[in-house]
Amino acid sequence: MDLSYSPDEEAFRARVRAWLAANVPAPTARQDLEALRAWQRTLHAAGFVGASWPKEYGGAGLSDMEQAILNEELARARAPGVLNAMAIWWVGPAVMRYGTDEQKRRFIPPILTADEIWATGYSEPTSGSDMAAARTRAVRDGDHYVVSGQKIWTTLAHIADWFFVLVRTSTEGPKWAGLSLLLMDMRSPGIEVRPIRQIDGGAEFNEVFMTDVRVPVANLLGQEGQGWEVVSSALINERTGIAGSIRFDQALDWIATTARAQGKTKDPCVRQRIAELVTKAAIVRYSGMRSLSDSLHGRMNPHLSAAMKLTSTSLTQEFSETAMEVLGPYAALMDDPRAPSSGRWAKQYLGDRSMTIAGGTSEVQRNIVAQRILGLPRDRGTTAGKR
Ligand SMILES: Cc1cc2nc3c(=O)[nH]c(=O)nc-3n(C[C@H](O)[C@H](O)[C@H](O)COP(=O)(O)OP(=O)(O)OC[C@H]3O[C@@H](n4cnc5c(N)ncnc54)[C@H](O)[C@@H]3O)c2cc1C
């Protein structure tokens, strides 16, 4: 593993750091939809969204190392995330990899500027981990597919313009072989979006019902029957994105501040817990650097993203569990004037529960690590069609 940076990379870091110091919104600034859209546009204008994407599609053509430096500096500056993160992490890369020239020209630019927001439709009421069992049916009718079925847990469907949706185009052969990926206009007749209320009071994900929705064949991504391959590669990007988006340095600061505010910094149990978190956060950070180094040297096992997602999401839960213990019984208060830290740890604790489920559960990630990294035999309950 090579941890050194070249003079050009250090110069790039200095440029990014100076730009962020001048442009990152204050922590008190509003973070509603339009504010986040404006922030993504500002970042994009500076060349910091889709930074490693080719210039011909509106990216900045930066190297993977420069993208990694940019990510570090965004985290260091406590910059807000981008509104269209799902599209940046996996929809855009999938369109660039599998799309026609026409699809690339049509869909990539508005992803970068957040003019068009994307939702992802894999999960169904009867197929989550076993995604290959998707039943949403797409039947060819001339130059359209007619789509009927239901998706669930669809993040951002209530504000999305487009849907990256997995559909069944054939019932012949193995179940994964009959899947295809469509790019569906969310304003098409026949789509109904129903929000799902979450335990933390928010409603960021939804059920999506599709009844005879007509999608032009020109919006098929890749070939008919290639959906499983498209989604498998998108899931690797999703796991990498989830793992990379968790900011442990920031969480460590918050937890140390919380322990100080509660007068618990002399409690040996609390000190021990925090020391463990610091150690584990460092391990996750160095694992990330090792995989970056592997990727730069062309020896990256793409399934390492499962291990990174597994460890970082489990660790983020340990952080919020520790904070709740440090805060004591008042920690359970959320929307209450007596809630410590304005209820931020309570919200974080509840939100973190979902992290080991979204993008594939921890059990499924362990299966991937066992089979695809360690080369262990498949467990008898596992079929080829698991996330
Ligand atoms: C915050 C959040 C956002 C999400 N956003 C989206 C989205 O935008 N689009 C989308 O399509 N989906 C989304 N999901 C859904 C998510 O991908 C699924 O919830 C997840 O894949 C698990 O599927 P499931 O809920 O059907 O559980 P199931 O697959 O029914 O699993 C139930 C339990 O069985 C275990 N299990 C299943 N198979 C195995 C196995 N082979 N070996 C061992 N254990 C197993 C699981 O680990 C789990 O504990 C989101 C979920 C969350 C929490």
Q: What is the DSSP string of 36-72?
A: HHHHHHHHHHTT-SSTTS-GGGT-----HHHHHHHHH
C-alpha distances (whole Å) from 351 to each of 36, 316, 356, 362 are 20, 10, 10, 16
Query: Are 190 and 144 spatial neighbours (Cβ–Cβ below 8 Å)?
Result: no
Ligand 1: which atom is nearest the Cα of residue 361?
A: 47
- C-alpha gyration radius of the chain: 22
Pocket of ligand 1 (CB under 6 A): 120-123, 128-129, 153-155, 205, 354, 357-358, 360-361, 363-364, 367, 381-382, 386-387
Contacts of 353 (CB under 8 A, 6+ apart): 199, 317
Cα 362 to averaged position of ligand 1 atoms, centre (Å): 9
Q: Give me the tens of pLDDT residue by residue for the chain, a chain 387 residues long.
A: 667 889 999 999 999 999 999 999 988 787 889 999 999 999 999 999 999 899 998 899 999 899 989 998 998 999 999 999 999 999 999 999 999 999 999 999 999 999 999 999 999 999 999 999 999 999 999 999 999 999 999 999 999 999 999 999 999 999 999 999 999 999 999 999 999 999 888 889 999 999 999 999 999 999 999 999 999 999 999 998 888 888 898 889 989 999 999 999 999 999 999 999 999 999 998 888 888 888 888 888 889 999 999 999 999 999 999 999 999 998 989 888 988 888 889 999 999 999 999 999 999 999 999 999 999 998 766 554 556
- Single-letter amino acid code for the residue at 191: I
Q: Is 304 within 8 Å of 373 (Cβ atoms)?
A: yes
What one-letter code names the amino acid at 368?
Answer: I
Residue pair 157/119 in contact (Cβ under 8 Å)? The answer is yes
Judged by phi (left if over 0) then psi (alpha if -120 to 50, else beta), residue 221 lies in: beta
DSSP-based three-state secondary structure for 117: coil
Ligand 1: residue whose CA is nearest its atom 12: 123
Q: For strand 205-216 and strand 191-196, is the pairing parallel, antiparallel, or unpaired? A: antiparallel
184 in Cβ contact with 144 (< 8 Å): no
206 burial type by CB count under 10 A (0-12 exposed, 13-18 middle, 19+ buried): buried
Q: How far apart are CA 301 and CA 232, in angstroms?
A: 14
Both tokens assigned to 329: 């019984």
Return the number of other C-beta atoms located less than 10 Å from residue 221's C-beta.
24
238 counts as catalytic: yes
Give the separation between CA 203 and CA 195, rounded to whole angstroms: 6
Expressed in angstroms, the distance from the first to the final Cα of the chain is: 30
Model pLDDT, residue 384 = 47
Q: Is 64 within 8 Å of 93 (Cβ atoms)? A: no
Closest CA to 304 of 372, 358, 357: 372
Domains of the chain: 7-83 (1.10.540.10), 118-226 (2.40.110.10), 246-373 (1.20.140.10)
Q: How far is CA 50 from CA 45, 263, 311, in A?
A: 11, 44, 26
How far is it, in rounded angstroms, from Cα 356 to Cα 358?
6
ipTM computed for the complex: 0.98
CA distance 61 to 311: 30
- What atom of ligand 1 comes closest to residue 127's alpha carbon? 26
Q: Which of 238, 276, 325, 363 is catalytic?
A: 238
